[in-house]
Structure 1
Amino acid sequence: MSILIALKQQTDFTSTEQRIGHYILAHLNQLPTVLIKDLAAKTYTSHSAIIRLAQKLGFHGFRDFQRALTTEIVTQEQQAATVDANFPFSASDSVTTISQKMASLTINAIQTAQQQLDTTQLAPAADLLARANRIFIFSQGDSQLRARSFQNKLVKINRFALIAEEYADEAWNAANLTSKDCALIISYAGTTKIHQQFVAYFYEHKVPVIVLTGNPQSPLIDQATYHLLTVQDEYNFAKIGTFASQAAFEYVLDSLFAVMYAQDFHNHLQDLQQKQQLIQNGPLTTK
């Protein structure tokens, strides 16, 4: 997961660690050169408290944490300076410039998503989808297009997902889920009321839930079995399109599918070869 996201979320932070996190976020420009003794003095804490925070975030000590966070800050600044996720091009840009900016925006979005992707959530989420009797995907608008793409990929490994909100039957579909199924909710804002209602119901009835969102404060996260987070510099409404968020979602879902495939790689590959023979040269040939 992104260090900056972890510092903002402050999951399981003590009050002392929260104070250190708040100070770091407020003084990111000082972080690359700050000494641990100075950071301790400015936050009214101790060397050991800062080291414990660094270790909680997965680092050996303060220096490792400082180097990694500095790299992340520089990367984000470079990306922000390159393309505005909300208005990536202007009326005066040439066609070539627009195409270059759109390529940069997509690359930046995927790189940001990769830095934020929590593999400790990704691996068990893939395993859950692979074991579930049925998969129900809840998504609306642009995110439903990503859901359809993911649904199409799952067919290649003999897994079939239902787009639960496709025909306004979401309540019926939600009512049919059991603890042996899995609900996948895809929502960048993560604040849709009906999704909150469904997640509360699923949590109460022990239905496994995976949430893919761009909002670290989404109320869906607390009751999800697993959550995948990708935060982009994209506003809710003041933007030309959902370019960055949807590119990031596509990347995360592709990664989820790839992990599912890799978990039983040889069997999936053998099945692929057999199906290709049926479709290309066998009784299912349509060309």
Structure 2
Amino acid sequence: MLLREKMQGTAFSNAEQQLVDFILQNPEKLPHLTVQQLAQANFVHPSTLIRVAKKLGFNGWVSLKEAYLQEVHYLNDHFQTIDANLPFTASDGITTIAQKMAALEISTIEDTLALVDHDHLNQAKQLLLSCDPIKIFGSNANRLISQDFALKMNRISKQVSHCIPGEEAYEASCLATTGCGLLISYTGENQALLKIAKILQERQIPIITITSIGNNHLSQLATCPLRLTTRERLYSKIGNFSINKSICYLLDLLYACVFAENYTHNLNSLIEIGAAVDKRQTSLAIIAENTVETKLQYQDSFTPN
């Protein structure tokens, strides 16, 4: 749930509601008003700000203001020229559709990048490096998207697998305590995944979540929450374009961070394995391989002077 939605759905006193209405209608004024000025503008006592903040789950007014302004900034940034739900219209030709779909993907990645928190990303990287095995839990659609992530991770000797459909609770209950759960849910309110998260939490197994912004229940159970671009409605849309692209970007980012931890070894290992098992032929020089020269090139690139 977004903070502004929580404000709209929380029961306040008349004085508190007057303050909340002002906050919702005038976010651009908040950075420039002191507690006293904001209270005077709404004819309330300064303590009203603290009561509102605590009803919304914050320790004080400053933390509420910071969280609300961050949310407003996110919602007002990116996606200014394209609708994630209806990125093209019935009258658009194929060239226009191609351009709009490209714009949607670019906006999605920029939007997702803006949500990446350095500390959470680093924590997720450390968990993926130190935990074994890594088990992915998600809906059927998200399971398909994350298969490429599992494949790439397995190729650098990180044991990543998907749970068997219908066996999620059993697999969470049997997952080694040295392992880690990676849970993917757009809403963060999927009841089956919440059950999995609680099982993992009770067994003290770390949880990485990929979910929407806002204080959803799944992110509350996470050891390390990562945020998806949050622009699409549940079903009034053409397709899960921005959701899927955002998940792909975050999973590629996690893989890249893990790969970079042992860059030279991982790269040379992939080249050696590829040379041994990939026997595809090509008539294009630009994609043809020269395995010996390639390996020497990368070795030379990382040899200290």
Same fold (TM over 0.5): yes
CA offsets 1:165-223 (integer angstroms, 9 cap, x no match): 4x433233222113211010011112222111111111111111111111523211222
Residues 260 and 98 from structure 1, CA distance in 2 versus in 1: closer, same or farther, beyond 3 angstroms?
same
1:204 equivalent in alignment to 2:197: no
Q: Distance in 2 between matches of 1:19 and 1:257?
A: 46
Tell me the CA shift for residue 132 of structure 1: 0.7
Tell me the CA shift for residue 127 of structure 1: 0.5
Tell me the CA shift for residue 110 of structure 1: 1.4
Residues 96 and 199 from structure 1, CA distance in 2 versus in 1: closer, same or farther, beyond 3 angstroms?
same
Q: Distance in 2 between matches of 1:112 and 1:20?
A: 32
- Give the match for residue 178 of structure 1: 176
Q: Distance in 2 between matches of 1:175 and 1:30?
A: 48
1:124 equivalent in alignment to 2:146: no
Residues 246 and 96 from structure 1, CA distance in 2 versus in 1: closer, same or farther, beyond 3 angstroms?
same
Q: Which deviates more, 232-241 or 35-44?
A: 35-44
Tell me the CA shift for residue 271 of structure 1: 3.5
What does 1:140-219 correspond to in 2, within 5 Å? 140-165=139-164, 167-219=165-217
Residues 110 and 284 from structure 1, CA distance in 2 versus in 1: closer, same or farther, beyond 3 angstroms?
closer
List gaps (5 residues or longer) in structure 2: 51-59, 281-305
1:276 equivalent in alignment to 2:271: yes
Check whether the contact 2:155–2:270 (CA below 8 A) recurs between aligned residues.
no
What does 1:1-287 correspond to in 2, within 5 Å? 22=20, 26-28=24-26, 30-31=28-29, 34-36=32-34, 38-39=37-38, 41-42=40-41, 44-45=45-46, 73=73, 76-77=75-76, 79-165=78-164, 167-262=165-260, 264=261, 267-280=262-275, 283-287=276-280
Q: Distance in 2 between matches of 1:144 and 1:250?
A: 11
Tell me the CA shift for residue 80 of structure 1: 4.0
Tell me the CA shift for residue 135 of structure 1: 0.5
Q: TM-score, normalised by structure 1?
A: 0.75
Tell me the CA shift for residue 101 of structure 1: 1.0
Q: TM-score, normalised by structure 2?
A: 0.71
Tell me the CA shift for residue 109 of structure 1: 1.4
- Give the match for residue 287 of structure 2: none
Tell me the CA shift for residue 256 of structure 1: 1.7
Q: Distance in 1 between matches of 2:142 and 2:152?
A: 16
Q: Distance in 2 between matches of 1:251 and 1:24?
A: 37
Check whether the contact 1:9–1:217 (CA below 8 A) recurs between aligned residues.
no
Q: How many residues align?
A: 261
CA offsets 1:250-275 (integer angstroms, 9 cap, x no match): 1122222222223x2xx332332244
Q: Distance in 2 between matches of 1:21 and 1:133?
A: 50
The amino acid of 2:92's aligned partner reads D
Query: What root-mean-square deviation, in Å, do the aligned CA atoms of Structure 1 and Structure 2 show?
Result: 3.6
Check whether the contact 1:188–1:215 (CA below 8 A) recurs between aligned residues.
no
Tell me the CA shift for residue 113 of structure 1: 1.2
Following superposition, which runs of at least 4 residues in structure 1 exceed 6 angstroms of deviation? 5-10, 18-21
Check whether the contact 1:157–1:268 (CA below 8 A) recurs between aligned residues.
no
Q: Distance in 2 between matches of 1:154 and 1:271?
A: 10
Tell me the CA shift for residue 7 of structure 1: 7.7
Tell me the CA shift for residue 151 of structure 1: 0.9
List gaps (5 residues or longer) in structure 1: none
